[in-house]
Amino acid sequence: MSDALANFFTGRPTSQIAQDLLGHELVYQTSGGTMSGWIVEAEAYLGEQDTAAHAFNGRHTAANAALYDVPGTIYIYTLRGYYMFDVATQAEGTPQGILIRGIEPHEGLNLMQQNRDKPVPEVTNGPGKLMAALGIQSKGLNRTMLGAQNLTITPTATRIPREIAATSRIGVSAGSWQDRPLRFTVAGNPFVSGSRKRDWDREGHGWK
């Protein structure tokens, strides 16, 4: 992983990193071509104290071990049959991470739609949807570093949100942290999961 990317995932709270990820580009290179998209929705999970986190109460298993690895480690898991893409964000042994929940396609939309035959924005407006669109349907990249193989995130934003919205997370287990505003979105972007059409910015998609 590049120094710039390593530095991005360290040195500040996970919730701040999640906000800062909006506008960075998720890039996946395959033999068929490159697929990429700007991150429009990211959800922070804050480890042992977070009732919705996989590491709540210090839970540490083979399945969630990636969260305990160094910042920038890829954590892939399954939920209700869908693959999800998470990134570890804190020092080794501090199991916090960010779930990437939505991307706006940039490169390779035709490839994404070969993998997931849905119209825009349905092709990538959810965490399981974007993984299906990229064709990542295994845990092969779990516990690898961003950029070590063919999946990475740009170390700097290539688009800037006009407004960032912070809302409660979606589909998390009930508990004291259920309603905390730890889901960050590009306000008005059509590729945010569960967004209402009447709230979409159809011209600029919420970017400056």
Give the length of the chain.
Answer: 208
Is the peptide bond between 121 and the residue preceding it cis, with omega within 30 degrees of 0?
yes
Residue type, 94: T
pTM for this predicted structure: 0.96
Residue 173 has pLDDT above 80, yes or no: no
Residue 174 has pLDDT above 90, yes or no: no
175 pLDDT band, cuts 50/70/90, is confident
- Per-residue confidence (pLDDT) for residue 176, from 0 to 100: 80
pLDDT digits (tens, 9 = 90+) for 41-93: 999 999 989 888 999 999 999 999 999 999 999 999 999 999 999 999 999 99
What domains are defined for the chain? 3-199 (3.10.300.10)
- Per-residue confidence (pLDDT) for residue 190, from 0 to 100: 98
Residue 14 has pLDDT above 90, yes or no: yes
Residues 126/132/134/138 CA torsion (nearest 10 deg) = 120
pLDDT digits (tens, 9 = 90+) for 159-171: 999 999 999 998 8
pLDDT digits (tens, 9 = 90+) for 120-142: 999 999 999 999 999 999 999 99
Top-confidence residue, 176 or 105: 105
Residue type, 6: A
What are residue 20's phi and psi, to 5 degrees? Answer: -70, -20
Report d(CA 119, CA 188) in Å as an integer: 18
